[in-house]
Amino acid sequence: MKAIRDILDKQKPLFEKGGKFEKYYYLWEANETFLFTPNETTHSKGAQVRDALNLKRLMITVVIAMIPCLLFGIYNVGHMHFLATGGVATFGEKVLLGATVVLPIVLVAYVAGGLVEVAFSFIRRHPINEGFLVTGMLIPLILPPTIPLWQVALASVFAIVIAKEVFGGTGMNVLNVAMTARAFLYFAYPSDMSGDVWYYMGDQQYADGFTGATALGIAAEASITEGTQNVVSTLAATDGGLFTFWNMFMGFIPGSIGETSTLMALIGALILIVTGVGSWKIIVSVFAGALGLGYILSLAGANEFMMMPAHYHWVMGGLAFGAVFMATDPVSAAHTESGKWVYGALIGIITVIIRVLNPAYPEGIMLAVLFMNVFAPLIDHVVVQSNKKRRLQRATV
Amino acid sequence: MSQHIKLKKGFNINLAGKPQKVVAESERPETFAIKPTDFLGVIRPKVAVREGDIVKAGTPVFFDKKMNQVMYSAPVSGEVVEIVRGQKRKLLEIKILADQEIEYEKFQEYSASELAGMSREQAQESMLRSGVWPQLIQRPYGIVANPEDTPKAIFISTFDTHPLAPDYDVLLKNQASYFEAGVEILKKFTLGKVNLGVNADAEVSPVFSNAKGTQVTKFSGPHPAGNVGVHIHHVDPIGKGDLIWTIDPYGVVQIGKLFLKGIYDASKIIALTGSEVKEPKYYHTFIGGCIDKLVNGQIKQDHVRYISGNVLTGEKISEKGYLGFYHHQITVIPEGDQYEFLGWLKPTTSKLSFHRALGLFSYLNPKKEFVLTTNTQGEERAFVQTGVFEKVTPMDIFPLFLIKAILAEDYDGMEELGIYEVIEEDLALCEFIDVSKHDIQAILREGINLIKAT
């Protein structure tokens, strides 16, 4: 350790003010603070000691929480490939195939996003933001495995520039950065983001009779086609019994790389909640909102999709992943504790509205999160306003 | 029947180096200093003495041109040896070389029974002249009280929940009669009540239990349950235009002594605490005493920080520095100017954290006493985390929104979000737990100054 420190100390003057590489100071700082927490001490007045938590540790905790989703996603991409092509493979082969598909996407997202961060740190003279640790991992997990790598790069760059850096960087953004990346691709390259994109096929074809549908696609179909049978049995009957509740809960279904498994998202949720990094109020209220509206719709029951048991909404599509990792983004979510309940519940509700009542989009969590990102400040405003009113009431003048 | 308010929000910073309840003797300091910078709200201090002057305990050494009735006095008798000024001739310290035997300025002496009949003007006159007046702090703003005001209530917190805080039982042993007399005097200054906030988790000290005519409210919970700002918020909150005075029990005792003994008695007991102190104990000293004799031979190592006050709200001083006017403790902790390899990632049980993020295990062992250094534990960043400041602020206030309103210089926002109700110590825990490492207390003071100037 001391040897590394000595090297750093020797080079440091080059990057400091007046040094040869002064412009690259923040790149230097990012590397230095990555290796060593700085020797900075507290000021002479005020708190003389500080809590051990810093932003880097906070962000890496979120990354750790996403790792179950990533690992399962890698396996599932391989698993789905062999299922769809009708091939037979061992666990190892599935993981290997999944890794060769997924890891390049992760790598591209990190590299492209990282370059943008570094470029902005030069231009705007601000430190390289740790938030990028999380964004770089989130973006791959919400993309389909068939996404072209250049689109991953483009989306990362777009999202970090437009959703984050123009607002001043981590902590200042209005919209969830990763969801912005996905929305960008969804609207810019729709053919690569929906339809036949959820199975990585390589150069192979679907096996006989395999439809390649997704759960939400099947359910949405049921809402517009008359005379269809019960959604639950249709789901279970498609593609060799693929979409049973249990399969969907575990995640052995097609979908975005990291989104399919509700179980893995819940493990992530557990990590976030135990560590206090993610708001349990938001996670719980998203699930509750979706269940609540799902239940009301099933009572109304105008078509087969509506009559689907409400808890199916929890395991279909990206709701669980979105609730755990997207809605809880502290910067773009509501900042007040009571506001978080409203914010989360509305995300759940809007997700189900978009899924069930809107014929255009089969999945709703992305638009719900982005929509509520925009409304989070309004929710906070109402909460803070009521606090101000209480305060004013007891004023004597 | 007194009210009992149970507070859940807050956080106890459990540090190593708690003082044993023993008052030890230490050599008396040779020099004493009054630091105008200790008194918030003093804008234009004017020195009333010259280098070489001989003063007695209770002789005014400076006053504020803006509020020139209030005298700031010498704590001991002796010779004014140095008047230290900083940049732009800012007055920093007035140093006094103490006599062996302290001589006191003589003020009018009263018997305990005479106090009740005394007028406010009479009491005020002695208090202003003698130097005890600055013990009275006005809320909002946390500045020295203006004698021309009449507060709606006076609040006294009889316990301190700060890290390693000294015990008032030890600080004020056998001073009950003075405390009682002090409260009797304070009652003259308000049309409302004199409020005592007491600790519901401990037996009420005999020092406080005899004071008559006070409204007692019990508080329990983690720090900042002992902060007088929290008590005010729950008992008689401050709105715009309200005025409340606060005073700590030592100040009350000083007022009592002024009237019963006729002297300005600046002697006090303080605690020498912290992980780097060999034997943390209590010691006799005086307001403004130099700490050199006190810490001499008491410290485990060289690379330490001396803090006048506690680790949340205190001030760094040198090893030859002087005790702050309002402080009852000196804390000594290790200086943290070391790099740490992968310090942001390594799992640790030795660093204290309110949070439980990756690898921070201090919450598993809440009874453990931690040794904390002065390292900031990370770099300053934009605000990211939400909802945590509220967890350590037992008030109906949104600290994060208040801080943001201050940074935006949004005057209406500051007022409406409760800037009148808080001073630095009330948000000190927010500063401690802040992931983004902002100087919350300094930001708050800027906001208070902005609001005060309007």
With beta carbons under 8 A apart, name residues in chain A contacting B383: 171
In this predicted model, what pLDDT tens digit does every residue of B354-395 receive, in sequence order?
A: 998 888 888 888 889 999 999 999 888 889 989 999 999 999
Q: For residue range B334-361, what is the model confidence (pLDDT) as tens digits?
A: 999 989 888 888 888 889 999 988 888 8
Q: What percent of chain B has pLDDT over 90?
A: 85
What six digits make up the tokens of B72? 């700031």
Residue A12: which of A208, A21, B215 has the closest Cα? A21
* Number of H-type helices and E-type strands within chain A: 17, 1
Determine the Cα–Cα distance for residues A50 and B343; give it in Å rounded to an integer: 14
More confident residue, B203 or B396: B396
The answer to whether residues B91 and B47 touch, using CB atoms and an 8 Å cutoff, is yes
Angstrom distances, CA of residue B109 to CA of A120, B116, B252, B263: 71, 14, 16, 8
Segments of chain A scoring below 50 in pLDDT: 397
State the burial class of residue A144 (Cβ atoms within 10 Å of its Cβ: 0-12, 13-18, 19+). Answer: buried
CB of A88 less than 8 A from some CB of B: no
pTM across the whole model: 0.93
**Any idea which residue has 């005086």 for tokens?**
B286
Ordered DSSP codes for B97-157: EEPSS--B-------GGGGGG--HHHHHHHHHHHT-GGG-EEETTTEEPPTT---SEEEEE
267-306 of B, contacting A, C-beta below 8 A: 305
| Residue A332, SS3 per DSSP | coil
Burial level of B352, CB count in 10 A (0-12/13-18/19+)? buried
pLDDT in tens, B401-447: 999 999 999 999 999 999 999 999 999 999 999 999 999 999 999 99
Give the pLDDT confidence score for residue B341 in this predicted structure. 87
Asked if omega into A309 is within 30° of 0 (cis), the reply is no
CA atoms within 13 A of residue B405's CA, in its CB half-sphere = 23
Instruction: Please give the pLDDT value at position A397.
Output: 47
Residue of A nearest to B401 (CA): A384
Q: What is the pLDDT of residue B1?
A: 55
Contact B416 A388 (CB under 8 A): yes
Q: In the numeric block, which tokens belong to residue A222?
A: 């049921």
Task: Give residue for tokens 């005073």.
Answer: B247
What chain A residue is nearest to B443 in terms of C-alpha separation?
A: A46
- The overall average pLDDT reported for chain B is 93
The DSSP symbol for B28 reads P
Which residue in this structure is represented by tokens 């250094």? B373
DSSP string covering A155-183: HHHHIIIIIIGGGTSTTT-SS-HHHHHHH
pLDDT digits (tens, 9 = 90+) for A320-351: 999 999 999 999 999 999 999 999 999 999 99
Provide the pLDDT for residue A28: 82
Return d(Cα A265, Cα A60) in angstroms, integer: 17
Structure tokens at B354: 């309110």
Residue A47 has which token pair? Answer: 């708190």
Each residue's pLDDT tens digit, B384-409:
989 999 999 999 999 999 999 999 99
Tell me the C-alpha to C-alpha distance, in Å, between residue A226 and each of A198, A220, A231, A310, B366: 26, 12, 12, 21, 62
Is residue B442 within 8 Å of residue A46, measured between CB atoms? yes
Express each pLDDT in B154-177 by its tens digit.
Answer: 999 999 999 999 999 999 999 999
Residue B84 touches partner A, C-beta closer than 8 Å: no
- pLDDT for B60-81, tens place per residue? 999 999 999 999 999 999 999 9
Question: How far apart are the C-alpha atoms of A71 and A81, rounded to whole Å?
Answer: 16
**In sequence order, what E strands does chain A have?**
36-37
**Which residues in chain B have Cβ-Cβ distances shorter than 8 Å to A50?**
375-378, 432, 434, 437
Q: How confident is the model at residue B260 (pLDDT cuts 50, 70, 90)?
A: very high
Optimal mutation site among B240, B330, B339, B441, interface A, most CBs of chain A within 10 A: B339
Inter-chain CB proximity A44 and B316 less than 8 Å: yes
| Distance (Å, whole) CA A345 – CA A362 | 20
Tens digit of pLDDT for each residue in B24-58?
988 999 999 999 999 998 989 999 999 999 999 99
Residue A35 has what pLDDT? Answer: 85
ipTM of the complex: 0.90
d(CA B358, nearest CA chain A) in Å: 5
Dist. CA A179–CA A135, nearest whole Å: 9
